[in-house]
Amino acid sequence: MRSTIGMQTIRLLDVVRDPSLIPFVYDYCDQWCRYCRATPRCLFYRTRDEGRAGDPRDPLTVERFEAMLEEGTRFAAAIADVTGSAVAQLDYDLAAPERSPGPPAIGDPLEVLGRTYMMRANRFLVRSGLDISRDPYFDDATPEKIVAWHHMLIASKIFRALVAADRARHGVDLQADALGTAKLVLVSIDRTLAALGEMGRRHRGPDPGVLTGTLTALRAGVEARFPGARAFVRVGLDGAATC
């Protein structure tokens, strides 16, 4: 069995079996836990402080970032071992660099556009004067921090949705995962566009027009590729849905 993170496997097994948890809700939210109503029913939130590398208020150094990635891989591996779920296996494959899926998701026009947006947004944030390495958890949801929080998530979740959709076409039970992930991308794009609009109305700082155009094209592409995503209900996150 692959290793767990900061807890015995039996402890993780007990937590996973808790019927109050929403299965894999952390895959379809933006993981901005301070503002998430699903945290009491989230396995990731329930276990996130066990084995965490350092204080979340510490600067996001390369070393700390690598430690966080390693912990994430261990978490994903443990959940895949315990549950045997296709969703958990996808989490592990995406977390472990040596297992990361390649084509057709890598190089897909949507994936390329997502990466393009991420790089443009990163340059925009630097010009805006926001040092994201000093405030990685973004406790205050200012427009700048909304853009910062979501810019990498949008790119990574587009990739996940494409991988899930490809595996679903090959018979793996991941169609709902693809739609749930695409829904998260659309919600993140909507929230980012609203934040960019507010920044633009201030008439100070860099012009967000290029980002707005890229995101608008990206949203249209996601809606065309995943036509059921807007209507998909993420349990615990959309409307009054519960399980």
Q: What is the distance between the alpha carbons of residues 24 and 29, in angstroms, rounded to a whole number?
A: 9
pLDDT tens string, the chain, 243 residues long: the values are 344 444 445 466 678 888 899 999 999 999 888 888 899 999 988 887 544 444 444 555 556 556 667 777 888 888 888 889 999 999 999 998 888 899 999 999 999 999 999 999 999 998 888 776 665 555 678 898 899 999 999 999 999 999 999 999 999 999 999 999 999 999 999 999 999 999 999 877 889 999 999 999 999 999 999 999 999 999 999 975 443
pLDDT of residue 71: 78
pLDDT of residue 65: 55
Alpha helices (H) along 84-227: 86-95, 109-128, 143-169, 175-202, 209-225
1-28 pLDDT per residue, tens: 344 444 445 466 678 888 899 999 999 9
pLDDT of residue 53: 42
Cα 57 from chain centre: 20
What contacts 212, CB < 8 A, 6 or more positions away? 193, 196, 197, 200
Among the listed residues 78, 103, 102, the one whose alpha carbon sits nearest the alpha carbon of residue 91: 78
pLDDT of residue 106: 94
Q: What is the distance between the alpha carbons of residues 222 and 133, in angstroms, rounded to a whole number?
A: 29
pLDDT of residue 132: 64
Under DSSP, the state recorded for 231 is T
pLDDT of residue 97: 80
- pTM > 0.75: yes
